[in-house]
Amino acid sequence: MTPSDPKGNSVLAAGGSERRSTRSEDDGALLSASGVWKAYRRGWWPRRRTLQVLKGANLELRPGEIVGLVGENGSGKSTLMKVLVGDLSADAGQVERTHSFGYCPQVPVLYERLTCDEHLDLFGAAYGLGQGDLVRSRASLYEEFDFAWFAESRVEELSGGTRSKLNLALALVHDPALLCLDEPYAGFDWDTYQRFWELSSQRRDEGASLLIISHFIADEERFDRIYDLVEGQTVLR
């Protein structure tokens, strides 16, 4: 997991090059993707093969909404999200972000020998938070996800559910306007799962935008809009 540029204002073109956004923030889009293609190449010549995962995917997020990204296993949901946050380069197409963002990958990428406090301090510093803001944010996240007890515990000592809480907290520590979350509640107990959705709704009401990958049918009623990823293309329901 790599902290984003705190400014977050960029356009990512095919190949991963980045330039300053010229989009006016008045049009309301926090994130937009158009014509995104991505393939994985496996093996060596002469048996090298290409797996085309994304085939011109389009997506847009506006302030104050929770958007779902759903699809079958292996459909490319995580690949698309990695392209959206700049973790992967698209082969073609364009991604534009106009605000800072937080990214919660499906598999927690944490440092085994660092404590929860040290993780939050590290990411807070990377995002440019002052000490006062960092202390307040850290305390709030511990309270919201009920894991203050583990503040001084190393990651190697944590359960899977607590790792997931820390993984999500790192995406939230700088209070971004845009959140990209890949099945963020994996390993949560029921109470934490419910609390996650309460907090998501609260952030939406405050004007934030959330893109959430989910495979739970029950989640779909919680989304304002849903994109289905089918054969490499996004279909808005």
In angstroms, the Cα distances linking 195 to 141, 145, 155, 199 are 12, 8, 22, 6
**Cβ proximity of 39 and 91 under 8 Å:** yes
What is the amino acid identity at position 230? Answer: V
What share of the chain has pLDDT > 90, as a percent? 76
Q: Which of 210, 216, 156, 208 is nearest to 186 (CA)?
A: 216
Q: Return the pLDDT at 25.
A: 44
Mean pLDDT of the region 64-70: 96
pLDDT category, 46, cuts 50, 70, 90? confident
Residue 9 has pLDDT above 80, yes or no: no
**Mean pLDDT score, 50-79:** 95
Confidence of residue 6 (pLDDT cuts 50, 70, 90): very low
Please tell me the predicted confidence (pLDDT) of residue 122: 96
* Average pLDDT estimate for 168-174: 97
The pLDDT, as a whole number, for residue 164 is 96
The CATH class of 10-236 is alpha beta
Domain range list for the chain: 10-236
Edge-to-edge strands, sheet with 225-230 = 101-104, 178-182, 209-213, 65-70, 225-230, 233-236
State the Cα–Cα distance between residues 230 and 237, nearest whole angstrom: 12
- The string of DSSP codes covering 52-90 is EEEEEEEEEE-SSEEEEEE--TTSSHHHHHHHHHTSS--
The model carries a pTM of 0.85
Please name the helix (run of DSSP H) or strand (run of DSSP E) that holds residue 99, with its range, or none. Answer: none
> What is the average pLDDT across 170-182?
97
* 15 pLDDT above the threshold of 90: no
For the segment 63-74, the average pLDDT, to the nearest whole number, is 95
- At 28, the pLDDT band (50, 70, 90 cuts) reads confident
Q: Does residue 23 register a pLDDT over 50?
A: no
Mean per-residue pLDDT over the chain, rounded: 88
**Confidence category of residue 47, pLDDT binned at 50, 70, 90:** confident
pLDDT surpasses 90 at 42: no
- Give the tens place of pLDDT for each residue, 74-131: 999 999 999 999 999 999 999 999 888 999 999 888 999 999 999 999 999 999 999 9
Q: How far is residue 154's CA from residue 157's CA, in Å, rounded to a whole number?
A: 5
Q: How far apart are CA 31 and CA 33, in angstroms?
A: 7
pLDDT score, position 16 = 42
Count of C-beta atoms within a 10 Å radius of residue 102:
27
Q: Are 2 and 149 in contact (CB under 8 A)?
A: no
State the pLDDT at residue 69: 96
